[in-house]
Amino acid sequence: MTLLIVRLRLRMWRTALSRSSVQLVSAIIGGLVALGAVGLLGPSIALLAARPLALTAVTVPLFAGVTLLWLVLSLVATGVDNVLDPTRFTVLPLRAPELARGLLAATLTGIPAVVLTLLALAQVLAWSSHPAAVPAALAAAVLGPLTAVLLTRAVTSALAGVMTSRTGRLLGAAVVALATLLPLVLNLLVTSGEPGLSLRSLDARDAAVVASWTPVGWAWGLPFDVATGRWASAVVHLALALGLLAVLWRVWVRQLERVLTSPMTSGGGQHIGRGRLLPRLLGHSPTAAVAARRVRAWYRDSRLVSIALRTAVLPVFFVVQAAVTGTGALAGTGVVTLAVFAGLTLMNDLAFDGPAWWMHVSTGVRGWEDRLGRVVASAVVFGPVVALTFVVSVGIGAIEAVLAWLAVVVAAFGASLGLAAGVGAVLPGTAPRTGGNPFAASSGGAAQGCLTALASFVGPVVLVLPVVVGAVLSRGSALLGAVVVVVSVLYGAGLLAAGVVLGGRHLDRTAPEMLGRLGQVQV
């Protein structure tokens, strides 16, 4: 059964690549990036064998951090490969443990898992100068990737089950938001150390000890324990690593049992109110109806709640580090980044609708009304967050050149919304299936989404450059600063209008074709 599921996954992946040139190009680029990462990092890690133990010990915190980052990216970037959706196996006489073994093996054939495994084997070579530690490093090369994959599967499956209710959505979104801040906090701690620390003088033994006693470092700390003669710690870490795998396996299997035994359709028992406030504020036009529907989705849809919260907490790191280091540019960069990312959330808004977009086609909603309604919804949801973050940053003194940064923020928000409105009408992207795992992503869809997001991120940066130049030249003059702010408002509004009009025209021309595509974009 395990071999059958692996073959099925590879065949589905090959079929998807043969049918979509975008996914094929994305997969090729992703493969080249993976080869580059292995070719660059693999030899660097293996060459640690020629270094003293104090430097070789860096592999423990390094791979522990990779394991933690693996989990964070799965929560933040919907990185759980969902080509083989467990719900598709509900009609087959399969038990959860059998399905779990097959899905685990299929996941290990993915590009990210292969890269991690190859780097883990390079870690074995790094410990080759300590022969007694080589078997422990081999055990770490097996237990480490398994821990990363099972940790991701168990946590995302558990959160997906919790986020079916409104309280669960808030709890899950809070967990995702905190997970977003973890790498940022670690970066803040690392960069606040002694500057100018060279690689030759690095002593990573203390960091290795600390990392080895964290759950993500239990497996990776085994070779370090053996190399330093800490045999009791090695036995404890081995027992803890195996126990963690057993717990994660059990959690994942229980979640699969719930999926396999749950009804394939929901009962529709949730009560939805009429929602009088938004129609009163926005009106009753088609544009207002689209905007009101999308605003409700941002706090009702578990797939969108986590996206909204992790986008909102993104600038916290920049503002905090600016307050700690006294660098105002960091806070301003954080607000601009928030404005750009807030606009990017509109990029795959059609994918979250999926086949339900037929309502727009059947009722004759024009393309520009659809685009403008979604823009209004994003502005209602994220506009106050951007404004509040900017005001707080100015209030605590993190931003001094107020007018200059205000002009850049306004232009960045308008440019990102306009570009996303246009790009989203051509490339709807992918989204987790309605009612499914909110952290799911297809193998090709994730790469395609990253490419689209990269293009939509670089686009606003290029479009905002004229405003940045004007803001820099106007520093020191309140009058010129006010003029640049006014120009940036008009410039951002123009870019936004262009995106709405052009994207709307494309939807008008290709509405039936887009409806057919949206039936395949949810995974």
CA distances to 79, 100, 228, 482, 500 from 473, rounded to whole Å, are: 42, 60, 59, 12, 31
State the pLDDT confidence band at 245, using cuts at 50, 70 and 90.
very high
* Identity of residue 192: S
Contact of 137 with 270, CB cutoff 8 Å:
no
Distance between CA atoms of 312 and 386, rounded to whole angstroms? 8
- Report d(CA 511, CA 423) in Å as an integer: 15
> Residue 391: CA atoms inside 13 Å, Cβ hemisphere, count?
6
pLDDT at 137 (0 to 100): 92
Whole-angstrom distance, CA of residue 506 vs CA of residue 367: 7
At residue 140's C-alpha, the angle toward residues 139 and 146, to 5°, is 100
pLDDT exceeds cutoff 60 at 365? yes
Is a pLDDT exceeding 90 seen at residue 237? yes
Which is higher by pLDDT, 88 or 499?
499
Handedness of CA 490, 292, 430, 73 (dihedral sign): positive
| Most confident of the ranges 254-268, 336-350, 509-523 | 336-350
In this predicted structure, the answer to whether residue 284 has a pLDDT above a threshold of 80 is no
Confidence at residue 268, expressed as pLDDT on a 0 to 100 scale: 43
Q: How confident is the model at residue 201 (pLDDT cuts 50, 70, 90)?
A: low
**Looking at the predicted structure, is the pLDDT value of residue 46 above 70?**
yes
User: Taking 50 as the threshold, does the pLDDT of residue 195 lie above it?
Assistant: no
pLDDT at 398: 78
Apex CA 345: angle with CA 523 and CA 84, to 5°?
10
Can you give the pLDDT at residue 443? 46
248 neighbors 154 (Cβ within 8 angstroms): yes
Per-residue pLDDT band at 266 (split at 50, 70, 90) = very low
Q: Which two tokens stand for residue 58?
A: 């860096």
Question: Structure tokens of 135?
Answer: 């078997």
269 pLDDT exceeds 60? Answer: no
Written as one letter, the residue type at 136 is: A
Q: In the predicted model, is pLDDT for residue 42 greater than 50?
A: yes
Helix (H) or strand (E) holding 80: strand 80-81
What average pLDDT score do residues 212-241 get? 92
pLDDT in tens, 419-429: 989 888 888 87
Nearest one of 318, 317, 404, 385 to 345, comparing CA atoms: 385
When pLDDT is cut at 50, 70 and 90, the band that residue 100 belongs to is confident
